[in-house]
Amino acid sequence: MPEPLIKLENVWKIYQLGKIELVALKGISLEIAPGSFVTIMGPSGSGKSTLLNILGCLDVPTKGKVFLKSQDISLLSEDKLAQILGKTIGFIF
């Protein structure tokens, strides 16, 4: 089986809104193989856009790890993420 193109391990995204914590993603783990097609579906507010922002290197998780071509990109700086986004990932809004 080929190495996953994208892999998420226990990814969380928590937004701090004053004293309130808003959990947008809670423990997401998934693998996407090269050449596969993936659909992300769910009701409004379920975290789809947050997940896509993390997959597209537009945001980083609060907890967990994100791998792109076996490289852990979870803790990269915004500059490094921008380089990856410009060279590796296509993102259409």
pLDDT of residue 79: 85
User: What proportion of the chain, given as a percentage, has pLDDT over 90?
Assistant: 56
pLDDT of residue 90: 72
Q: What is the token pair recorded at 19?
A: 């004293």
Q: What is the token pair recorded at 12?
A: 């969380």
Q: In terms of residue numbers, what domain contains 30?
A: 6-87
- Number of other residues whose CB lies within 10 A of the CB of residue 25: 21
H or E element, residue 7: strand 6-17
Residue 66 belongs to domain with CATH number: 3.40.50.300
Q: How many residues does the chain have?
A: 93
Give the pLDDT mean for 10-27.
Answer: 96
- Give the angle subtended at the CA of 51 by the CAs of 63 and 74, to the nearest 5°: 40
Q: β-strand 20-32 against 6-17: which pairing, if any? A: antiparallel
**pLDDT reading at 1 higher than 80:** no
Q: What is the pLDDT of residues 33-52, one digit of tens each?
A: 998 999 999 999 999 999 99
Q: Where are the beta strands (DSSP E) in 1-93?
A: 6-17, 20-32, 63-68, 71-72
CA–CA gap between residue 45 and residue 54 (Å, rounded): 16
pTM of the predicted model as reported, rounded to 2 decimal places:
0.86
What's the structural domain count of the chain?
1
| Residue 1 resides in a domain | no
Q: Greater confidence, 88 or 51?
A: 51
CA–CA gap between residue 83 and residue 64 (Å, rounded): 21
